[in-house]
Amino acid sequence: MKTNNIMIVGVGGQGSLLASKLIGNVAQQNGLEVKVSEVHGMSQRGGSVVTYVRYGDKVHSPIIAKGEADIILSFELLEAARYTERLKPGGKILTSTQTIDPMPVITGAMEYPDALAEKLKAAGFNLLAVDALSLAEEAGNYKAVNVVMIGVLSCFLDFPMECWEKAIEVCVPPKFLDVNKKAFTIGRVIGGTKLS
Amino acid sequence: MEKRLMLGNEAVARGLYEAGCEVVSSYPGTPSTEITEFASKYDEIKSEWAPNEKVALEVALGASIAGVRSFCGMKHVGLNVAADPLFTASYSGVNAGLIVAVADDQGMHSSQNEQDSRHYAIAAKIPMLEPADSQECKDYVTEAYSISEQFDTPVLLRLSTRISHTQTETTVGERKALPKREYIKNAAKYVMMPGNAKKKHVVVEERTKKLTAFSETTPLNTIIDNGSRIGVISAGIAYQYAAEALEDKVNYLKLGMLNPLPVELIKNFAADCEKVYVVEELDGVIETHCRCIGVPVIGKELFSNIGELDQVIIREKILGVKPEIKKLDETLPVRPPVLCPGCPHRGVFYVLGKLKVMVSGDIGCYTLGAVAPLNALDTTICMGASISGLHGFNLADENNCKKSVAVIGDSTFIHSGITGLINVVYNATNSVVIIMDNSTTGMTGHQQNPTTGFNIKGDPAAAVSLEKLCESIGIRRVRVVDPMDIQLFESVVKEELEAPEPSVIISRRPCALLKTVKKYPPLRINTDKCKKCKACFKIGCPAIQDSKGTIKIDPTLCVGCRLCVKMCNFTAIEGEAK
């Protein structure tokens, strides 16, 4: 299998670590080599956070460089727009429509760009935008945006549903299992409808 | 054998466990911290957070002399602090094996500089290994101990952000406990006074020759012959980028031993190639060595010595292949890291900004006070420099004493602030030092430290009292204030700036991210009362946002700390009272 490159982007604290674990676990269940590159330390504190997941028959580099991402999975709209040059031609952006103002917007030095999803589509990017925050709330916890988006992502990857279920059971603490299972299912349903 | 996805740092810890390591002493520092956190989960290893890297390395050396395998981990700048024992441990050598892991931070994801630790290995004449994935992180620990004991030397294990913080598959094994080596008094070996050290220096030079011979044949250095006429010499994470970019189009000399570097192996590898590239991040260490031994290579004329490499850069520079890129044509606001909602440091910086004082800063979460809108810091250099730097600033002009302060965290104060404060007292400047005591080592992910009352395993431990410590060295004015009470905090800072002697203000409130800190329901803005004056924006809280002219508090971010409530003159910010 050729190497698949998935970039998970968002704001520090949005749970990209769990999302990367889930994808990594599923790929591993399928006998593929996996590398997951995380961000720790200073950048985590509300900053722009990037996690790389690469899997395939043989993976050397843990990072995804310009023009290499098959999918950008984003938990925040501005972050979805920030990394477009990493996309492969024909690559997809799956993003939550949630917006979180960065400090230059809060201080008034800059404005949060308008209609980013529309602009991305108009520029020819293959984009699926989902209101994952509302869906996470529907699942029972606004923090489950990450797992809603993993549910969406699952529709675009060739792994069986059982693998995802197993990954969630392995990676999510028992206390949050129900909410996350629900979040995943909601995301997968939405992803499925957009796929057709 | 079980294969697990493991962070490089976790794999180093697993390697320590399997190789029979018994003592681990470290100071946290991104990207090295998790090695010691994972090591502390093994009951067979005595693990600890030391006050700083120098202490940690001396502890590890002491344990090695006592006869058990030991380890000390740190980030690249930590090795500057530990350099003193490192250089002489090279002379004394070890009894049981000693590994010093140093994690470089190419790209400065979480660091104040981008130094290349390989220079330390050369300067201290200590062997250095560099793994390229988590499996090698684990395997090289075993190999490093064997080199350490065979050649009577500490061994440096060089890591980097992308090795330490990438999960790759790792096969785990069982622990091999080792018998304790006998400690035998041997002043000629362990007492490094001139008479003994002169003899030891000769031994060190001889050792380097033997290690060079070892590096010619060790399987740590491997040739991957793809039948090409182009050769690539690389190591660590840079090797992974090169292998990704160039696949089987070139031959590789993958180096696992970075010091001393082999001579004949490189010459023989190059002899079969028309062209040899050296692919390495940061400085041209391998490249310089190649040129010294008369092997012409192409290196830094193609690859920058700043920041990280990746496979696309290498593909472009060596194969001339550029990626197809499309970019959204829109200027996007950057998203720098910020102080968290509820952060106790925010109140301190708001007050210092209001008073327009010079702020001598330090290393920790509070370094984030430097960004807008707080713009609070004037300097940040290294651990502890806030206090000593302030003393110098005030020595230069005593009028500065009334308009300058130092800010330093609790862990950093213990690390290397206390010595600076002793200097303030002893050499008498009326400096004002604010210890921002948030009851944890925050930036590196909440490690215990000597002031928290708990050890690395979370068990109760002796706690240093910051107040008593400061008093005991001669600070008579020690004030303890809650930084959320900004009015009181402001008046205390003003008083201490006017005081005719040095003073310490302990700004005490636990980090908002600690599990023991209660979170309150999010606050909200009463839009009828809100005058949109944006006074609440002055504290730079990421939860307070201007949504198309309406001021809002993001309920997913707000932790109900109520600092913003104190900023509002119109009682427009509402929510459950504490």
DSSP codes joined into one string, B178-197: -PPPPP---HHHH--SHHHH
The Cα–Cα gap between B361 and B381 comes to: 8
pLDDT score of B277 more than 90: yes
0.90 exceeded by pTM: yes
**Residue bearing tokens 């998970």:** A8
Where is B418: in which H helix or E strand? helix B418-426
Query: Would an 8 Å CB–CB cutoff place B311 in contact with chain A?
Result: yes
Assign B3 a pLDDT band (cuts: 50, 70, 90).
confident
What residue in B sits closest to A69 (Cα-Cα)?
Answer: B325
Contact between chains at A67 and B5 (C-beta distance less than 8 A): no
ipTM over 0.85: yes
Nearest CA to B215 among B286, B287, B119?
Answer: B286
> Is there a contact between A186 and A141 (Cβ–Cβ < 8 Å)?
no
Chain B: closest CA distance from residue A155 (Å):
24
The whole-number average pLDDT for the span B432-454 is 95
C-alpha closest to that of B362 among B405, B433, B412: B412
Could you report the per-residue pLDDT of B147-167, keeping only the tens digit for each? 999 999 999 999 999 999 999
As a whole number, mean pLDDT of residues B60-77 equals 98
Output the average pLDDT for chain B. 96
Kindly report the nearest CA distance between residue A165 and chain B, in angstroms.
Answer: 18
Taking CB atoms and an 8 Å limit, are A119 and B328 in contact across chains? yes
The predicted pLDDT at position B431 comes to 98
Residues 6+ apart with CB under 8 A from B357: B403, B404, B405, B493, B497
B333 contacts on A by Cβ (under 8 Å): 78, 102, 104-105, 109-113
Largest CA distance in chain B: 82
Contacts of B432 (CB under 8 A, 6+ apart): B401, B404, B405, B406, B493, B496, B497, B499, B502, B503, B504, B505
Among A2, A6, A66, A148, the residue to mutate for chain B (most B Cβ within 10 A): A66
Which residues does B171 contact at the CB level (< 8 Å), separation at least 6? B1, B2, B3, B135
Kindly tell me if the per-residue pLDDT of A195 is higher than 70.
no
User: Tens digit of pLDDT for each residue in A33-78?
Assistant: 999 998 876 666 789 999 999 999 999 999 999 999 999 999 999 9
Provide the pLDDT for residue B176. Answer: 96
Asked if A40 and B371 come within 8 Å (Cβ–Cβ), the reply is: no
* Alpha carbons B546 and B536: distance in angstroms, whole number: 11
Residue B369: closest CA among B334, B400, B344: B344
Pick from B162, B333, B444: which is nearest to A62 by CB? B162
Q: Taking chain B, what is the end-to-end CA distance rounded to the nearest angstrom?
A: 53
Task: Inform me whether the C-beta atom of residue B32 falls under 8 Å from chain A C-beta atoms.
Answer: no
Residues of B in contact with A35 (CB under 8 A): 133, 166-168
Q: Tell me the nearest-neighbour CA distance from B323 into chain A, angstroms.
A: 6
pLDDT reading at A196 higher than 90: no
User: The tokens of B477 are what?
Assistant: 């004015």
Q: Is B536 on the interface with A (CB under 8 A)?
A: no
Q: Report pLDDT for A43.
A: 61
Nearest to residue A192, comparing CAs of A165, A155, A149?
A155
Q: Which of B325, B328, B335 sits opposite A48 (nearest CB)?
A: B335
Q: Is B477 helix (H, G, I), strand (E, B) or coil?
A: strand
Instruction: For residue B106, name the pLDDT band (cuts at 50, 70, 90).
Output: very high
Closest by CA to B409, choosing from B36, B51, B49, B26, is: B51
**SS3 call for B260:** coil
pLDDT digits (tens, 9 = 90+) for B18-65: 999 999 999 999 999 999 999 999 999 999 999 999 999 999 999 999
User: Which residues, 6 or more positions from B422, have their beta carbon under 8 angstroms from its beta carbon?
Assistant: B473
Nearest Cα neighbor of B261 from B229, B304, B297 is B297
pLDDT at A46: 85
pLDDT for res B98? 98
Q: Are A34 and A41 in contact (CB under 8 A)?
A: no
Mean pLDDT of chain A: 94
Whether pLDDT at B385 is above 60: yes
The pLDDT tens digits for A101-159 are 999 999 999 999 999 999 999 999 999 999 999 999 999 999 999 999 999 999 999 99
pLDDT reported for residue A72? 98
pLDDT at B383 over 90: yes
pLDDT computed for residue B126 by the predictor: 98
pLDDT at A42: 65
Q: Which tokens sit at B267?
A: 């010459």
pLDDT at B95: 98
Q: Tell me the mean pLDDT in the region B181-196.
A: 98
Which pLDDT score, from 0 to 100, does residue A179 have?
97
Question: How many Cα neighbours within 13 Å face the side chain of A10?
Answer: 26
Mutate to test the interface with A, among B311, B335, B375, B545 (most CBs of A within 10 A): B335
Residue type, B404: S
> What percent of chain B clears pLDDT 70, i.e. is strictly above it?
99
State whether residue B515 sits within 8 Å of chain A by CB: no
pLDDT tens string B244-269 = 999 999 999 999 999 999 999 999 99
Say how many CA atoms lie within 13 Å of B188 toward its Cβ.
4
Q: Poorest-confidence range of A27-41, B318-332, B345-359?
A: A27-41
